[in-house]
Each structure stands twice: as C-alpha cells, then as structure tokens.
Structure 1
Amino acid sequence: FRRAPQKIKPQSPDQGMGSKPYQNKLFPPVEELVSYTSSSSPKRLVKPFFFTVGFTGCAFGSAAIWQYESLKSKVQNYFGDVQADWMDKFRPQKQGNLRKQVNKWWNSLSDGQRTVTGIIAANIFVFCLWRIPTMQRIMATYFTSTPASRILCAPMLLSTFSHFSFFHMAVNMYVLWSFSSSIVSFWGREQFMAVYLSAGVFSTYVSYVSKMVTGRFDPSLGASGAIMTVLAAVCTKMPETKLAIVFLPMITFTAGNALKAIIAMDTAGLVLGWTFFDHAAHLGGALLGVWYATYGHELIWKNREPLVKAWHEMRTRSSGRRGGEGSQ
C-alpha cells in the first residue's frame, strides 16, 4: 500500500509540528505546508514534472552503463576467478560457522531476491529513523510527499522508501520479495532497478497531479507505487499464472484477473475519493507497469545501444590517454 497519512489542509509556514514526540502508531507527523493559494497553483507541478523526466533518464542511462561495466568486469575476471578457485583448494579454510551459514543462505537466493535485499534493507533503515523523535521533522519533510510541501522533488523518491507503520512496510516488502525473482529474470537487475526507481518517482507525480485536481493535499508515503509497477509488469507478462492471498492460500486466481481487480479498485477509490490509500499513486504505478511490459522495454531499454557505445568510446579514449602518459 501507498498510504495517505492524514487528511489535512495547507497551512501557513509558521504552523509547523510541535516539538513533542509523535504518538500515533499508524500515521507519521505532518510537516509544515505552504499556503493554500500557493499549493493550488498548477505551476507547482512544473518542477516535479522535469524532475520525473530527468530522474527517469538518469536512472535508465546509469542502468545501461552499469550493465556494460558488469559484463566487462565478468569477462576480464573470468580467468582470474578460475585461477583463484584452483588455488583455494590448497589454502586452509578459515570461514567460521556463522559466515558459512550466511554464505549458504545468500547463495540459495535467486538473482531477484538478492537484488531487492538492498531495497528492503533501505526501507527498514528508514522505518527505524521514524522511531527517533528528534528525526521526525526531517522525516516528515523529506520522506512524505505532497504538492503542498515546501520541498517537492526529493520526497518524490525518498517517500518510496518510507513506512511509518511496521505492518505497512511488511506487506509491501513481502509483495516485492514474492515478485522479485520473476521480474529480475525478465529484465535483469540493472533494468529492474531503473524501472523500480523511476516508477516510484512517476507514481508520486501522478499522486501530485491527483491531489492538485481534487484539492486534497494529504501527505503520502510507501513503496507501493513502485511495487505496483513490478506487480503489473509480471501479471502482464504471465497473465495465466496462479496467485493466492497470503492469509487465504485456498483462494486462487489468475494474475491477469488480479491485475484487473487492482486497477478497478484503485480507479474506484480515485473516483469516489477514498483517502486511506493513495489510489492515484497505485493506479499510476500499475498502468506504468502494463505499459512498460508491453511497449516500454522495446522503446527504451532496447534502444540503449547509442549510449553504451558512446560510453565505451569514452572509456577507450580515457584508457588510451592513461596508457600514453604511463609510457612517457
């Protein structure tokens, strides 16, 4: 879920949070907001729009370069790894039992599960920060998102790693873990990370637009906008796969029907004005996942060759200059 913490109205800048520790276990504190007149201006969506476009471009560009460097490193280290494995046979083993168990557990994970481990760790870290009373003003400013906030762009990304309720975080991370193996096997870890991070920012922008239209400026937080993209992409690529609810394993349904139900529920929530969840972010993430699985992979990721080629040429020239300097 991506939760909309509290139904509030924008206030004057001097009406900020008090200094007392926040007591509500379900919803985070609310940071001070800009005035209602300023927050209702469509101009406040311009900067987040360019941030969304720019961040998405950087995410996919970085992922393409990351993949290039990873493949290059694997090729260069192949023979070195073979030699190291051969030498290890003649070296005494110093690993303790705990380290062996950790290595065994790590090696038992799929590529997808290893990839999302870092995301889950980041979410747990941010959840712990919410428990520190002196951090709550900073957390409310940068780790919840609303177009009425003084800070507009950074929370679009940071709020996707933010959960105030343990149950909220546990459900989101369970869903991410469950679908990670399938989606990373389709896209690879680099493309997955680009899509996941971009989806978090994009779904927040859709939430911003919805809040500007409806006049409800409730701050939101949670990873479900990005997770909806992952879930929708898997359901689009494997619509006949059988799914079940974790607490009701006897009830099964196809992935395609699950996706239709999710989109229908979030559309109803958006139209009817339900406010407990950020239905606009959910819907934006789900539609992005359907689009990317159907068209986006072909249009974006498969056209990364010019960027990778330019990066390769730059690396080659740089290596040539270093080689020339070393021979002088």
Structure 2
Amino acid sequence: MRSKALQFKQKANNWIERQQNNIKNGSFRNQMNHWWNSQNMTEGQKLFYCILLANTTVLLAWRIPALTQFMISYFCSNPFARAVCWPMVFSTFSHHSFLHFGANMYVLYSFMNATTHYMGKEQFLAFYLSAGVISSLASHIFKTALRMPGISLGASGAIMGVLAYFCSQHPDALLQIAFIPGFTFTADSGLKALLCFDTVGLIMRWKLFDHAAHLGGAIFGLFWSHWGQRDIWNQRVQFLQMWHNFRTGFKSD
C-alpha cells in the first residue's frame, strides 16, 4: 500500500509539474482559448458565462467568514459608508443568497442573448456596467434624500436596464413568467407593470426590494434605447478623436 501511495503521489506531482510548465510557456492558455472558441455558443452566451462566473465568485466569497467585513465594505452599495464609488460597481455582481443569485441570473440569461445580438458584446458590457452604476446612484439619491440608511446589493438594477431596453425595442414580443404555463403578456405590458410596481414600492417605502435602484436601471435602459445608442454610442469615434486631440495638444504644451 505504501508503494502504491508513493507511485500515486509521484504521478500527481508529475501532472502538477506539467501543468505548471504549460502555464509558464503559454500552452495552457492556448489550450483554454482553443476550448473556449470551439464551443458552439453565441457572443451573448459567452459574455453571459463570464458575468455568471464573476457573480458566482462573489457569491462564494460571501461564504468565507474572514471576508465578511470586506464584502460589506466593497460589495454592498451604501451612500453612508466610507467607500462609496467602487461599491456602486462591485455591488452589481454581489448576491448573498442563492435564491437572489439564481433568479437574477435566470432573467439575465433569458434576455441577454437577444440584446447582445442587437448591441454587440462591447456595447452590451458597457451598457450593463453603466446600468448597474446608474441604478446604484438612484438608490443613493433616494436613501440620502430620505435619510434612510441601508445597504443594497445584486444585479437587479442592471438587469432592469437590460429588460427595459429589450421591451422598448420589442414591445410586441410575448413573454411568460417561469413556472406559470399558459400565461403570456406583451413585453410592453410587462415593463409597464414592473415600473408601476416599483413606483408604488418607492412611494410606500417597501423594503423588500430596492425599488429606487430598479427604477434607475429601467429609466437608463429606456434612455439608451431611444437616445443613448444613437447619440452617444454611435458618436463614440468622434468623442474619442476629440479626446486624443485634446491629449496630444496638452502634451505639446
């Protein structure tokens, strides 16, 4: 038994050494790139799995007791905390419960492929991060105005932006709630119902959801659908050229 155990240990050490050499010379990265590119997935699905991985990593980090204070400081949005800016981004990828995580990722997966196909992966990623920050900003403004301390986390605000964009672009698309067969409604009706629900929750100060963040994300999604994509994204080359010209002139001076 000792002899076999030593043989197994030697084989394991040899395998680990080979993998370390592969990482050092870049072949491991090439293998991973080949595997990733060989998968029969759309650009939207690939981007979704990257976002899913980020959210899963943060979800598991919440399970490590030694990281609890760090997670509260940087992965929870709170206008009254010492760190304010970075948590507005990081909280978009933060979920504490598996139910919250599963529900958000299911909704994101349902709408992301079609939205990414229309936007492109680069624009979608910029849009998704911006929607998350805008939703956090809306939550900050509401909590600060009413002096209501509290933390918020989750991708709901960013996902509301994706949902609002999709519903605005495809108002007649038929949607269905999971686990409720036979009940369908148009995307336009579903978006209006969600906006009314969050507006009532905001007025009544319900605390089950962050309704201000939901409304902020949805409003940004509608803005991007009607104006942002045309007036900002499609003009990005001119903006970048102006920025490069400004930097060049500044360095010359």
TM-score of the superposed pair, with normalisation by structure 2: 0.80
Quote the Cα distance in structure 2 between the aligned partners of 1:203 and 1:240: 26
- How far does the alpha carbon of each residue in 1:89-124 deviate from its partner, in whole angstroms, 9 at most, with x for none? xxxxxxxxxx9xx95996332221111211110000
The equivalent position to 1:121 in structure 2, one of 53, 56, 59, is: 53
Structure 1 equivalent of residue 184 of structure 2: 252
Q: How far apart, CA to CA, are the structure 2 residues paired with 1:105 and 1:299?
A: 33
2:100 aligns with 168
Question: Which secondary structure does the structure 1 equivalent of 2:176 belong to?
Answer: strand
Asked if the contact 1:106–1:114 (Cα under 8 Å) also holds between the matched residues in 2, the reply is: no
8 Å contact from structure 1 (residues 113, 181) kept in 2: yes
Equivalent in the alignment of 2:25? none
Whether 2:73 is the aligned partner of 1:141: answer: yes
Which consecutive unaligned segments of at least 5 residues does structure 2 have? 1-30, 246-253
Partner amino acid for 1:228?
M
Percent identity over paired residues: 45
Structure showing greater relative contact order (alpha-carbon pairs closer than 8 Å, 6 or more residues apart):
1
**Runs of 5+ consecutive residues of structure 1 not aligned to the other structure:** 1-98, 314-328
Whole-Å Cα distance in 1 between the matches of residues 242 and 224 of structure 2? 25
CA shift, 1:291, in A, is 1.1
1:161-220 deviation per Cα after TM superposition (whole angstroms, max 9, x unaligned): 000000100110111111111111111000101110011111100000000122211100
Residue 249 of structure 1 and its aligned partner are, at CA, apart by: 2.7
In the alignment, the residues of structure 1 paired with residue 102 and residue 109 of structure 2 have an alpha-carbon distance, to the nearest angstrom, of: 10
User: What is the aligned partner in structure 2 of residue 279 from structure 1?
Assistant: 211
Closer/same/farther in 2, CA of residues 312 and 115 from structure 1, 3 Å limit: farther
Q: Which residue of 2 aligns with 1:265?
A: 197
How many aligned residue pairs are there? 215
Measure, in 2, the Cα distance between the counterparts of 1:215 and 1:238: 38
Residue by residue over 1:6-49, the C-alpha shift from the partner in whole angstroms, topping out at 9 and shown as x without a partner, is: xxxxxxxxxxxxxxxxxxxxxxxxxxxxxxxxxxxxxxxxxxxx
Aligned mates of 2:204, 2:42 — CA distance in 1? 41
Matches within 5 A, 1:144-163: 144-163=76-95
Question: Structure 1 residues 309, 104: CA separation in 2 closer, same or farther (over 3 Å shift)?
Answer: closer
Provide closer, same or farther for how the CA distance between residues 106 and 169 of structure 1 changes in structure 2, counting only shifts above 3 A. Answer: farther
